[in-house]
Amino acid sequence: MNMHKIILLTAVCISLINFIQGGDNTEISIVPILGPFDLAEGPHWDENSNILYFVDIHQQKLYSWDSETNELTYTFIMSVAVPIDGKENSYVVGSGTNLVEIYWNRHFNDTDPDVEIIRTVDSTRLYNRFNDGKVDPKGRFWAGTMAEHGNEYPPNQASLYKFDSDAKRSTMISPVSISNGLVWNHANDTFYYIDSPQKKVFVFDYDNESGNISNQRTLFDFVKYNITGVPDGMTIDSTGNLWVADNLGNGKVLQIDPSSGELLRIVDMPVTHVSSLAFGGPNKDILYVTSAREGLEDEIKNQPYAGFVFAIYGLGVTGSPMLSYKLEDDIVFNK
């Protein structure tokens, strides 16, 4: 599709609002706000600027959306992007198997941004690329990879990495297949993680000082709950409950209580390929949900909003701030 013809739906969408009942009987609304994109992923709400960032992976685009002015701009880059703390117009980005710093003034489209390679991972893995990534409570950047060869996803080729403030790399979990999820609890002693094909949400003990993880357990098993599809992106609300995108299934967003592993709520989405989610808005009470259109070409009649970014209002919960990467100045890159 022609990406210059991005449809901006705002007020128009009010008539398209899809009302469903939340688990606590509050009325929630699901509004398609932007799109369609091929594979929208990796939403990141920046509370300093009230900007929603997300990527369109196979279009290699990083988008910036200003919820107040409706300004939507992009630059070319891939898979995952997070602002660098205290450094204007700088982002840490996964691009192929490179972790890079890009320089982008988000008020302008930039098809050729300045890029500096910070680190390269998986250099012997021909089909690997970075996938999802997040910043931990100490400001370190965690990002995992996946193998993707055409329509195939060779298993156990990838890893989850952690990058310290000096960009020193540690391998945290290996091998994995499709690295996703990535959430820390509010006590900063627990890490939640998803390797999508395993159809489980995992939980680890987490040491905030060292950044080490240990004692892997299964927190939530899609198969046990008869949920079709696979877990993809994940976020946490202010009460500590997890929100998980159910991709390739019936199109759902799940709320899970991590203390019991219980499924608290299911939100039915109007699309099946639900990729990721993040709380945003000035009060962080809007759940932004990304979705994919690719692979649904024959289905598009039934799923006119496939590939849209949605805003879910009225869930009755708020999210926690999403952090920026604390990267030291003057570090020697690519060592």
Looking at 132, 232, 246, 285, which residue is catalytic? Answer: 232
Number of residues that bind Zn ion (CB under 5 A): 4
Q: Which of 288, 203, 268 is nearest to 240 (CA)?
A: 203
Q: Where are the beta strands (DSSP E) in 136-282?
A: 141-147, 158-163, 169-176, 179-184, 190-195, 200-206, 213-221, 230-236, 242-247, 252-257, 262-268, 274-280
Binding span for Zn ion by CB under 5 A among 17-25, 104-112, 174-182, 287-295: 174-182
How far apart CA 236 and CA 243 sit, in angstroms, is 6
CB of 125 to Zn ion, least distance (A): 18
Nearer to Zn ion, 132 or 246 (CB): 132
CB of 145 to Zn ion, least distance (A): 12
- Residue 101 structure tokens: 């710093």
How far apart CA 219 and CA 224 sit, in angstroms, is 11
Q: Is the dihedral of CA 72, 135, 126, 152 positive or negative?
A: negative
Nearer to Zn ion, 149 or 168 (CB): 149
CB of 29 to Zn ion, least distance (A): 24
- Residue 287 structure tokens: 């759940």
CB of 210 to Zn ion, least distance (A): 27
The torsion angle over the Cα atoms of residues 239, 47, 131 and 41, rounded to 10 degrees, is 90
Binding span for Zn ion by CB under 5 A among 43-51, 69-77, 226-234, 324-332: 226-234
- Going residue by residue from 122 to 161, which x/- string records binding to Zn ion, judged by CB under 5 A? ----------x-----------------------------
132 is catalytic: no
Residues contacting 47, CB < 8 A, separation 6+: 284, 321, 322
Nearer to Zn ion, 9 or 256 (CB): 256
CB of 290 to Zn ion, least distance (A): 9
Nearer to Zn ion, 46 or 232 (CB): 232
Indicate whether 232 belongs to the interface with Zn ion (CB under 5 A): yes
Question: What is the set of active-site residues?
Answer: 232
Binding site for Zn ion (CB under 5 A): 132, 180, 232-233
